[in-house]
Amino acid sequence: METVYILWLRELKRYTRSRVQIITSLGQPVLYLVALGFGLGPVFQRAGNGSYLQFIAPGVIAMSVLFMCIFSGISILWDRQFGFLKETLVAPVSRMQIMVGRTLGAATVAMTQGLLVFVVCLIIGFRPHSWAALPQAAVFVALVAINFAALGTAFGSIIKDMQGFPLVMNFVAMPMFFLSGALFPLWGLPKALAVVTHIDPLSYGIDGLRGALTGAWYFSFTHDFAVLVLVAAGFLLLGSYFFSKIQM
């Protein structure tokens, strides 16, 4: 237990100690909110869909959680490069504990980041339809964080050096984000795109978060929740499997 805790704490320390990075990492969400939220707002409104800022804010929050998770997962690569990974791998604790500590740490960091972006959304003008729904929103942020922290761990364990990082960003994280309904409604999509969005687990996270925050669901609470829990279990298994197979 102490092992899980100390590795969880390490991830948190790493995050809170890099204040500059925290500030700069808010730049991208702000850009999305301002450029898309206000830029595409009029078009969205004219199409009869209401406020675009209200629509994408949950998507942008989920995006920052997703990217934070992938970054943290990839930090296994840094630890491999700088050697610290070896130190944990020869310790007399199970790889499972190490993996869980790291993954929970990454998820906690990502949730904190999500909270910060939520505050940014509020500042820019986003309003949740009901403050009472915030706990529900937190549930979905946590689920998204755990899902993708586990997936990040899996990728961090498979990839052996830094060249692999852009690969994961461009071929996994970015497509997951763009094909998730973060930026567009899932109604009336072309067949192929509709299929892809239904496969993308992030779609369910975003739908859940958006449902909780704005009251507009595409699937439903139970549907989103069930899918995310199932997929999280799968990703956690995958992550711990690949982590247990790491050789130096």
Residues of this chain that bind another protein (CB under 8 A): 2-3, 6, 10, 13-14, 17, 79, 82-84, 86-94, 158-161, 163-164, 247-248
Output 13 or 129, the one with its CB closest to another protein: 13
Name the nearest CA neighbour of 30 among 53, 51, 13.
53
Output 44 or 155, the one with its CB closest to another protein: 155
Which amino acid would we find at residue 15? Y
Write down the least CB distance from residue 101 to another protein, Å. 10
Q: Rounded to the nearest 10 degrees, how much is the dihedral formed by the CA atoms of 182, 16, 73, 104?
A: -90
Output 108 or 197, the one with its CB closest to another protein: 108
Measure the CA angle with vertex 37, ends 206 and 176; round to 5°: 35
Write down the least CB distance from residue 118 to another protein, Å. 27
Output 49 or 244, the one with its CB closest to another protein: 244
Write down the least CB distance from residue 146 to another protein, Å. 23
Helix axes of 191-199 and 201-214: crossing angle, nearest 10 degrees: 90
Q: 129 is written with which tokens?
A: 């339809």
Write down the least CB distance from residue 160 to another protein, Å. 5
Q: 13 is written with which tokens?
A: 């320390």
Output 155 or 184, the one with its CB closest to another protein: 155
Q: 101 is written with which tokens?
A: 């500590």
Write down the least CB distance from residue 83 to another protein, Å. 4
Alpha-carbon separation of residue 193 from 41, 189, 216 (angstroms): 23, 6, 21
Distance CA 143, CA 141 (A): 5
